[in-house]
Amino acid sequence: MPIYLDNNASTHLDPRVLEAMLPYLSGPAANASSLHRYGRLARDAVEAARAQIAQLVGAQPGEVIWTSGGTESNNLAIKGVAGNLAPARLLYGASEHPAVMEAAESLVSRGWTVQAIAVDKLGHVVESALQAQLARGKLKLVSLMRANNETGVIQDVARFAPAIHAAGAWLHVDAVQAAGKLPVDMAELGADLMSLSSHKIYGPKGIGALLVRADVELRPLLHGGAQERGLRGGTENVAAIAGFGRAAELVMQELEQRSAHLLPLRERLEAGLSSIPGLLIFGAGAERLPNTCQFALAGYDGEALLMQLDRRGIAVSSGSACASGSGEPSHVLIAMGYDAVTAKGAIRVSLGKDNTADDVDRLLAVLAEIARTLIAA
């Protein structure tokens, strides 16, 4: 089995989560919107999971809308808010996930003014840039991620929230990477909308959630059916929802324990990396997720390094999975001020709760070997 160090792209399914899903995969057919007995069993499972997701982020069950995943959540948040309003202004951080950036940019054709807020070399939103944008008025929505998927850099969203609200805008927080790795509380962050994904927290793929405060008006992205208070049509994916709920419950039980496991592993990795000449860790001076380390080996192309590691049975990423293979340098690193060559050298290691010190040591040994052959060549 390869050593899997790409947990920000996707985590494996926790066996305890699978156990929670199986009754809805092998049980009687159940459309949660049907009124009969089977339908009600499915509905109960859906509502129990809704309460679990709400609890994970300190929200109310009624604020949870199921989606097909983080991408849909981000699309629904941005286009959903915009869809109910006359064209105005929208801001997003320059290092946001493509789902946020592209959803936001799609509004330009509908008359919206969409602007990216600069981030600094550490990946933090530049506060003065944000303040300047806030002062320009007609602002309706600001979208900021809690933690970056590539660098793991944590954004101090809570600090910006009061000014964003004072400017008359809602705050959408993409918490897809933060949930399960950090405590995430909607009220503490000041979020009006928040995106979550199941398969980043050891739940199944194909399910996510958008948290929406009661006072935020959304236009649905998927029309049809009265599901999710009319905000998201489609038959509920009961098994996946039950799995997502269980995964959230496990996060609540194990978050501290997982962090306590991950942080020393990452420190071990970064201590090892520091002995490799010409190695750069992105966002090193910033507070980061305990599991994420993005780095570049000077003179080495990220995609090539990725393939070499893959041949030696180690799965890592060059950035976000979505952009993999595109040949484009990471927009996150470019936004942080790195040149294209450096950015194209990036490798992201994202540890999971079941990785071990042996996994890290094996990666370090292989990297050292590759670095030696590079120097020799």
From the list 347, 243, 356, 325, the residue with the least C-alpha distance to 1 is 356
Does residue 264 belong to the site contacting other proteins (CB under 8 A)? no
Which residues in 275-304 contact other proteins (CB under 8 A)? 303
Specify which residues 280 forms β-bridges with.
296
Per-residue contact flags (x/-) with other proteins for residues 179 to 218, judged by CB under 8 A: ------------------x-x----xxxx-----------
The token pair that represents 57 in the structure block: 């982020």
What HEC string does the chain produce?
CCEECECCCCCCCCHHHHHHHHHHHHCCCCCCCCCCHHHHHHHHHHHHHHHHHHHHCCCCHHHEEEECCHHHHHHHHHHHHHHCCCCCEEEEECCCCHHHHHHHHCCHHHCCEEEEECECCCCCECHHHHHHHHCCCCEEEEEEECECCCCCEECCHHHHHHHHHHCCCEEEEECCCCECCECCCHHHHCCCEEEEECCCCCCCCCCEEEEECCCCCCCCCCCCCCCHHHCCCCCCCHHHHHHHHHHHHHHHHHHHHHHHHHHHHHHHHHHHHCCCCCEEECCCCCCECCCEEEEEECCCCHHHHHHHHHHCCEECECCCHHHCCCCCCCHHHHHCCCCHHHHHCEEEEECCCCCCHHHHHHHHHHHHHHHHHHHHC
Does the active-site annotation cover 293?
no
Nearer to other proteins, 342 or 350 (CB): 350
Does residue 308 belong to the site contacting other proteins (CB under 8 A)? no
Does residue 227 belong to the site contacting other proteins (CB under 8 A)? yes
Does residue 40 belong to the site contacting other proteins (CB under 8 A)? yes
Q: How far is the CB of 90 from other proteins (least distance, A)?
A: 14
Nearer to other proteins, 224 or 299 (CB): 224
Candidates 142, 309, 351, 371: give the one binding other proteins (CB under 8 A): 309
Does residue 321 belong to the site contacting other proteins (CB under 8 A)? yes
Which residues in 70-129 contact other proteins (CB under 8 A)? 70-72, 74-75, 97-103, 105-106
Does residue 222 belong to the site contacting other proteins (CB under 8 A)? yes
Candidates 2, 168, 278, 299: give the one binding other proteins (CB under 8 A): 2
Candidates 64, 69, 178, 355: give the one binding other proteins (CB under 8 A): 69
Candidates 252, 307, 340, 375: give the one binding other proteins (CB under 8 A): 307
Does residue 131 belong to the site contacting other proteins (CB under 8 A)? no
Nearer to other proteins, 161 or 350 (CB): 350
Nearer to other proteins, 110 or 159 (CB): 110
252, 304, 322, 365: which one is catalytic? 322
Q: How far is the CB of 66 from other proteins (least distance, A)?
A: 9
Instruction: Evaluate the CA torsion angle 67, 72, 78, 79 in order and state its sign.
Output: negative
Nearer to other proteins, 34 or 60 (CB): 34
Candidates 237, 259, 292, 355: give the one binding other proteins (CB under 8 A): 237
- Between CA 16 and CA 295 the distance in angstroms is 33
Q: Interhelix angle for 238-273 vs 15-26, to 10°? A: 160
Count of residues touching other proteins (by CB under 8 A):
83
Q: How far is the CB of 75 from other proteins (least distance, A)?
A: 5
Q: How far is the CB of 172 from other proteins (least distance, A)?
A: 14
Q: How far is the CB of 39 from other proteins (least distance, A)?
A: 7
Contact window for other proteins (CB under 8 A) among 137-145, 286-294, 307-315, 367-375: 307-315
Q: Which residues belong to the active site?
A: 322
